Chain A
């Protein structure tokens, strides 16, 4: 299958600082990218959906000013957690999908373990 690379795989940051997570589709053009967070032993919670060149669509309850998403190109999307707090500690996962008319499956990055201290 296609490859989605997420970086970094883990990060530790201090409260109040910002952290940027990158998600790249390496061998296909990602029309749409999804960002999820996952707490231990729980399911993935969809945070937002972004289409290349457009503003991200956030799910209810997700603060768009705190979780900044940029999808400036067909191969790169970034999630910036601004002014991070310990409660933002979680596992963040991105996924990317190409043209939905030809392929609706999504490919996932390896995830980023964020710890805010």
Chain B
């Protein structure tokens, strides 16, 4: 199946610490996207990494992609309480592919 599987399912850290979430998938991909969902809200797109890229940065976010291992990681540095949310990865086989989500990682950042 195309969906990614996030790990860990839940992560609790203190403000200021870094948070790392992982995503594994099974098929070849065109790109992989990370999204955040605050409780009771829709998803917000965070970052997209293409299959020919290995690392990408956006503010406090750093995403890596290892296509040989079919895995990606999302690092949030210097976390804040406002980063508390669920994080989902979405691997896409092609540019027009469906966005299918796994269970996500529930991140809790304690002040």
| Chain A residues packing against B (C-beta within 8 Å) | 1, 4, 6, 32, 34, 42-44, 46, 49, 91, 93, 95, 100-101, 104-111, 113
Contacts and interface: CB of A to CB of B under 8 A. Distances in A.
Given A42-B103, A93-B42, A104-B92, 4 more contacts: A105-B45, A106-B43, A110-B41, A113-B40
Interface in B38-57: 40-45, 48
A43 B103 contact: yes
Looking at chain A's contact residues, is the secondary structure mostly helix, strand, loop, or mixed? strand
Nearest to A105: B45
A43 B102 contact: yes
A73 B97 CA distance: 20
A85 B34 CA distance: 34
8 tightest CB-CB pairs across the interface, nearest first? A108-B42, A100-B96, A100-B95, A108-B43, A105-B45, A104-B95, A44-B101, A43-B103
